[in-house]
Amino acid sequence: MRRKIKPLLENVEILDAGSQGKAVARVDNKVVFVPYAVPGDVVDIQVTKMRKSYNEGRLVRIHKYSSKRIPPKCSHFGLCGGCKWQNMDYQHQLYFKQKQVVDNLERIGHASLPDIEPIIPSKHVFYYRNKLEYTFGNRRWFTEEAMKLPEEERINEGLGFHLPGMWDRVLDIDQCYLQEEPSNKIRLALRDFALKEGLSFFNIRAWKGLLRNLVIRTTSTGDLMVIVVFGDDNKEETEKVLSFLHQNFPEITSLIHILNTKQNDVYSDLPFQVYHGKDHIMEEMDGLRFKIGPLSFFQTNLEQGKLLYRKALEFAELQGNECVYDLYTGTGTIANFVAPYASKVVGIEYVDAAIEDAKVNSKINNIDNTHFFAGDMIKVLTPDFIREQGRPDVLITDPPRAGMHEKVIRRILDVSPDRIVYVSCNPATQARDISLMLDRYEIQRIQPVDMFPHTHHVENVLLLKRKAF
């Protein structure tokens, strides 16, 4: 069967910035998605995928540069998929993120919206993350510069990020602008040491190799956690790696290692061992202190996390006598944040270890009106549980990107809190969930928050109030 020849689309104007960070054009009344273009560009697009309702393509030539376009700072731009909007002026990034929130709520949620509050920009557009996870790989992606070297001089191993759409290839990173030092120094030093010592980088095709992942977590208090995930239980070589890090980076306050021999990269269900220092780091947020373990979730942009939680607290409109439920509470960050302003806070989370951290965080901050429960949300949030804990006046929910299960939404509607504050990292699933609530609730306030500059990702906080019948 003959393959259909994919067309070259010439002199196409880019109209919008859409999902997954791709730019959007329209040709012959059909949407075309193309990465690394900027709205206002006039370009040629080579179609790479043809679907019934849309096409995908790659940028092959720019005839006219958009006024929104700026030079990207990172030398890895265009290969690393992490900062796809780095070639767009930040003010326009904010515009398209806010537009994304509105478009999703109207198109997917079919919602009638109040005036949206202006998106809160990030204080820092570079070096804003407090956590990065790198991957070791023995199938490094060779750049044009590396390909010029003789084959025997090319280094096959790399430490960096997976290339988008290429699960077995790693882009070796020289300089990343997402996390402050010593993040780059640690990564580069460990990579060079491993190459010098002839240590094996992970082979994801064969599921073997010593070095698998490197995780670096920093805090505003000066704590520094480094986690090395090993794919092979070689105690002598493991000791060699950990000893190198301990001796060369005395600023590490928590040096931890995990053995993962599974055929997936998830290590949150595995035991960890402390090689040096503490088994946690400490962070501060608006006078509260939080213990963060190696497997704990914490907002990766601290400054924006503060603003996000302050806005959730504002939307909750607490007077001091309310019972508040915090769903998907994680390590209890929001629950502890709002507890001083409520009578009682009930936090629910499916990860047992996170709930234990939440309890510790309440104790650290002398908070005694929080109650935390671990388990599957719909199995915990039963009518008997609600009778025991009390009906919530306010419900705060901050689910993962997939949003909430429909059964959880139905249970929330049965509980019927006066106010729902929905914090989301994915406006599309938030809009889907909200659409199931609009018969009983109306949207009162909308506040987007930019947590991740140079990406399409945007957080959104919604206030829903129960309708009077």
Q: Which amino acid is at 332?
A: G
Q: Could you read off the pLDDT of 161-217 as tens digits, one per residue?
A: 988 877 788 999 999 999 999 999 999 999 999 999 999 999 989 999 999 999 999
Sheet containing strand 272-277, edge to edge, reads 166-172, 158-163, 131-137, 211-218, 224-230, 254-259, 272-277
Q: pLDDT tens, 430-469?
A: 999 999 999 999 999 999 999 999 999 999 999 999 998 7
pLDDT of 152: 64
The reported pLDDT for the residue numbered 236 is: 97
State the residue for tokens 């109650």: 371
**Reported pTM:** 0.92
Residue 44 burial (CB count, 10 A): 16
Q: Quick: pLDDT tens for 304-347.
A: 999 999 999 999 999 999 999 999 999 999 999 999 999 999 99
3 state SS of 388:
helix
Q: Where are the alpha helices (DSSP H) in 225-298?
A: 235-248
Cα–Cα distance measured from residue 408 to residue 405, given in angstroms and rounded to the nearest whole number: 5
Q: What is the maximum span of the chain, computed from C-alpha positions, in angstroms? A: 76
> pLDDT at position 254, please?
98
Per residue in 374-408, pLDDT (tens digit) is 999 999 999 999 999 999 999 999 999 999 999 99
Give the model's pLDDT for residue 153. Answer: 64
Q: Which two tokens stand for residue 198?
A: 């002839």
Give the pLDDT mean for 410-415: 96
Share of the chain above pLDDT 90, in %: 86
Q: Which segments of 164-240 are extended strands (E)?
A: 166-172, 211-218, 224-230
Q: At residue 32, does pLDDT exceed 90?
A: yes
Q: Is it the case that residue 370 has pLDDT exceeding 60? A: yes
Query: Per-residue pLDDT for 120 more than 90?
Result: yes
**Is residue 353 over pLDDT 90?**
no
Q: Which two tokens stand for residue 427?
A: 């406006």
What's residue 69's pLDDT?
Answer: 97
Give Cα separations from 45 to 8, 11, 19, 187 (angstroms): 6, 8, 18, 36
For residue 145, what are the contacts with CB-CB under 8 A and spacing of at least 6?
none
| Helix %, strand %, coil % of the chain (to 5) | 25, 30, 40
Mean local confidence (pLDDT), 352-377: 94
* 3-class DSSP state of 391: coil
- How far is 113 from 111, CA to CA, in rounded Å? 6
At residue 449, the pLDDT reads: 98
Residue ranges with strand state E in 84-200: 131-137, 158-163, 166-172
Taking all residues of the chain, what is their mean pLDDT, rounded to a whole number? 94
Neighbours of 117 (CB within 10 A): 14
Look at residue 154 and tell me whether its pLDDT is greater than 80: no
Q: How far apart are CA 229 and CA 420, in angstroms?
A: 39
**What's the pLDDT band for 147 if we cut at 50, 70, 90?**
low
Task: Give CA–CA dist 359/382, Å, rounded.
Answer: 22
Is residue 8 a contact partner of residue 46, using CB atoms and an 8 Å limit? yes
Report the pLDDT value the prediction gives residue 2, as an integer from 0 to 100. 60
Residues 6+ apart with CB under 8 A from 125: 90, 453, 454
pLDDT confidence of 45, banded at 50, 70, 90? very high
Structure tokens at 174: 């020289």
What is residue 294's predicted lDDT score, i.e. its pLDDT? Answer: 92
Query: What is the predicted pLDDT for the residue at 320?
Result: 96
Angle subtended at Cα 158 by Cα 454 and Cα 34, rounded to the nearest 5 degrees: 35
What's the pLDDT at 168? 83
Buried b (16+ CB within 10 A) or exposed e, 142-162: beeeeeeeeeeeeeebbbbbb
pLDDT of residue 319: 97
SS (H, E, C) 256-278: EEEECCCCCCCCCCCCEEEEEEC
pLDDT of residue 82: 87
| Sign of the torsion angle spanned by Cα atoms 313, 318, 319, 324 | negative
| Residue recorded with tokens 């700072």 | 73
What is the predicted pLDDT for the residue at 155? 80
432, 403 in Cβ contact below 8 A?
A: yes
pLDDT of amino acid 156: 87
- If pLDDT is split at 50, 70 and 90, which confidence band does 351 have? confident
- In this predicted model, what pLDDT tens digit does every residue of 266-313 receive, in sequence order? 998 899 999 999 999 999 999 999 999 998 888 999 999 999 999 999
Point out the residues that are catalytic. Answer: 425
Contact call for residues 397 and 368 (beta carbons, < 8 A): no
Two tokens, residue 162 = 């997976």
